[in-house]
Amino acid sequence: MQEKANSCIGIFDSGIGGVTVLKEIIKILPYENYIYISDSKNNPYGDMKKEKIIKRCEEITKYLIENKSKVIVIACNTASAIASEFLRKKYKNIPIIAIEPAYKMVYDHNYDKETLVMATKGTIESEKFNLLYKKYNNHKTQLLECVGLAEIIEEGNKEKIVKYLDENIGKYKGKIENVVLGCTHYPLIEKEIKNILGRNVRIFNGAKNVAIHLKDVLEKDGLINNIEKKGKIEFLDTSLEIEKRKNKKKRFFELIGG
């Protein structure tokens, strides 16, 4: 029991985007402790070389395991697409839960409709995503590499976000029914995306399913923390600039709502 109480869920993203996944997890696992790593020294991952993403994911995972993580959650679609297989092979004794663009959800819930998948270049070009895409292809799908979007969401500049969306997704207005948010940063601008594409578009986001899957895995492995006390969240950002680290932390806790 003591062992379980001291252990935590390790979660990471290239920045603060993974907060959209953590929020869903906390809703169903409120008594767990969390360490969240935001790798802002090295982001964006979206157009980074594969080898570097794998190296960073390996270093972060190692750190999280050394700091008592009983499970790792990759709250970044790009990192999942590129590094999850490597991490699972390397760290065989710890469950590694990885998010992926919710394209199967479209197949399950609104298959026969025009669909836009928004994700990073790294995700869209990855083998992992392409396997998923081929398996559930509805032949009415546009894949959009949103180069630079995660960066401006990190910055938090509303005007830049609206301008970017206008220029890059404006052309899909009225032509799309389903939108897959294939990057964990994008749910942070769901409202702005709907403002451009129309209030009626259906948004698909894999975060909730990750949370449910994580809970199942912890239950199956007997790793759930049953002590009914609200868990702690530790936030670490890798930036070398103190101000930047402070700002990230502030925004992260604002977004998490605590």
Q: Looking at the DSSP assignment, which residues form a beta bridge with residue 145?
A: 119
How big is the chain, counted in residues? 258
Q: How far is CA 237 from the centre of its chain?
A: 16
Q: Does 46 bind ligand DGL (CB under 6 A)?
A: yes
- The contact mask relative to ligand DGL for 164-183 (x = CB under 6 A, - = no) is -------------------x
Do the Cβ atoms of 104 and 78 come closer than 8 Å?
Answer: no
Nearer to ligand DGL, 40 or 115 (CB): 40
- Residues with a catalytic annotation lie at 76, 183
Q: Which is nearer to ligand DGL, 219 or 254 (CB)?
A: 254
Q: Does the footprint of ligand DGL cover residue 17 (CB under 6 A)?
A: yes
Q: Of 33, 77, 225, 238, which one interacts with ligand DGL (CB under 6 A)?
A: 77
H-only helix segments in the chain: 2-6, 19-28, 50-66, 77-90, 103-109, 121-125, 127-136, 149-155, 158-169, 190-197, 207-220, 242-256
d(CA 151, CA 128): 23
Among 33, 38, 40, 43, binds ligand DGL (CB under 6 A): 43
Site for ligand DGL contains 12 (CB under 6 A) = no
Give the footprint of ligand DGL on residues 82-141 (CB under 6 A): 120, 123
Alpha carbons 252 and 258: distance in angstroms, whole number: 9
Token digits of residue 145: 């590499």
Which one, 149 or 218, has the nearer CB to ligand DGL?
149
Residues that bind ligand DGL (CB under 6 A): 13-14, 17, 43-46, 76-78, 120, 123, 150, 183-185
